[in-house]
Chains A and B, each alone.
Chain A
Amino acid sequence: MDTRGFVTCITIVAESIVESRLLEGLTASGARGWTITPARGSGPKHQGMSEIEGGSIRVEVLASATVADRIWQLLREDYFANYSIAAWEYPVQVDRAERYCDPAPPR
């Protein structure tokens, strides 16, 4: 029996200083989990202080389309204006897709 299904993968690259705030926001948006890896790079505006402490982080979240929309809204309202943030999404096929889909509304 094929238990695969499609979910949305959102990838966010951000200054590490906003890590706790971002993870709280992802939880509040309904994300069930995430994976964080260290990152470095340069963006169009050369913002951020990533060279001194902590560098950047790359956060990947597997979520339903509804939760992905909430996460985009969060990024637009709280992050894009003032922090070095890049984000992108694409559909991914996973096993047991229901693990990543949040039926509950955000706080």
Chain B
Amino acid sequence: MSWDLVATNIASVPVLAFLLGVLAAGLKADLRLPDAVYQATSMYLLLAIGLKGGVALRESSLTEVAGPVAATLVLGVIVPVLAFVILRVLTRLGPVDRGALAAHYGSTSLVTFTAALVFLDASDISYEGYVATLLTILEIPGILVGLLLAGRAMSGGDKRGWSEALREVLLGRSVLLLAGGLVIGYLAGPNGYASVEPFFGGLFTGVLALFLLEMGVLAGRRLGALREAGWGLPVFAIAFPILAGTLGIVGGLVAGMSTGGAMVLGVLTASASYIAAPAAVRLALPEANPGISLTASLGITFPFNLVIGIPLYLLIAEWLAGIL
């Protein structure tokens, strides 16, 4: 059963496109999307996720959503703190780099989330439609907590960098399009969404495949940096997502979500940001080494979550649902 899940996941077009990108990077083939196309597909995915989530939110009650939202906020604080502490044990990184990594792992990956939804749909497993709300919520606190943890270790600190990072986190493209999409979807409702469903729904998996092709090339390029990273970082980049994912699943189940929904929350907490967090960290913590964070989040955690993590978190969710 478990290998069937892994096989289903790997045999999907988006994941295979990702692996093609990794292969292309290894062969040093030029497979990058033109920058404008990359930006457009990124905006499309963000808006599409937000829209669907907003429509689902309209059909959910406040009591149904309140528990998972609260669980998400709590996890948004716990996960980066855990990452900061565990990195101290596993690596010799200083507090600034650990804070930067905590910011990355405290936030979330839209693409991993999207791939998880595609996987659940293909496996005919239901989940709460408002999970995009949880994604939007989790984008923000983790980054801020990570920056705070690193900032405490720094004397003085650059106020301008902090305000720029705050602006980047709160008004950056990811949050604006997700939150905006949620609002639009909520206001338009199922009837309004029906008219754009062929574009934002029908084309979704195909656009995701294109985007993952690009991410595969970027992740593949990062693999070369693994050699310089030491053993602690790769161990963290694989073990921590499993720990954080399990915490997310527990939080989802305790908050009353279905097995599929709790698995999605687990995917959110297990994933690491490599777009929103790097930008904010670069502004607020310029002393942090961006290569370390990106190698971990994009080079190791993202491929791990995409190929193995997603089916693994479903297994954990099903097992825990039977116990809790």
> Residues of A at under 8 Å CB distance from B?
15, 17-18, 20-21, 38, 46-49, 51-53, 55, 81-83
Contact = CB atoms under 8 A, between A and B. Distances in A.
10 shortest interchain CB distances as A-B pairs = A82-B286, A49-B290, A17-B282, A49-B278, A17-B279, A53-B275, A82-B287, A51-B218, A49-B294, A52-B275
Contacts of A46: 291
B282 A49 contact: yes
Contacts of A82: 286-287
A17 B290 CA distance: 12
Contacts of B221: 51
A83 B281 CA distance: 12
A46 B275 CA distance: 19
B286 A21 contact: no
Q: Which of A38, A47, A52, A55 has the most CB of B within 10 A?
A: A52
B65 interface: no
Interface in B256-308: 274-275, 278-279, 282-283, 286-287, 290-291, 294, 298
22 contacts: A15-B282, A17-B282, A18-B282, A20-B164, A21-B160, A21-B283, A46-B291, A47-B291, A49-B278, A49-B282, A49-B294, A51-B221, A52-B275, A52-B278, A52-B294, A53-B275, A53-B278, A53-B279, A55-B35, A81-B286, A82-B287, A83-B286
Contacts of A49: 278, 282, 290, 294
Contact of A17 (B274, B283, B294): B283
B260 to A, nearest CB: 30
Nearest to A84: B290
Interface residues of B, number: 17
Nearest to A21: B164
Interface in B211-258: 218, 221
Nearest to A50: B290
Contacts of B274: 52
Nearest to A24: B160
Contacts of B287: 82
Given A49-B282, A55-B35, 10 more contacts: A17-B283, A18-B282, A21-B283, A38-B35, A49-B278, A49-B294, A51-B218, A52-B218, A81-B286, A83-B286
Interface string B60-75: 0000000000000000
Q: Which of B287, B290, B294 has the most CB of A within 10 A?
A: B290
Contacts of B35: 38, 55
Contacts of B286: 81-83
A35 B283 CA distance: 23
Contacts of A51: 218, 221
Contacts of B283: 17-18, 21
Nearest to A40: B35
Contacts of B298: 52
Contacts of A20: 164
A47 B160 contact: no
B164 A47 contact: no
B51 to A, nearest CB: 23
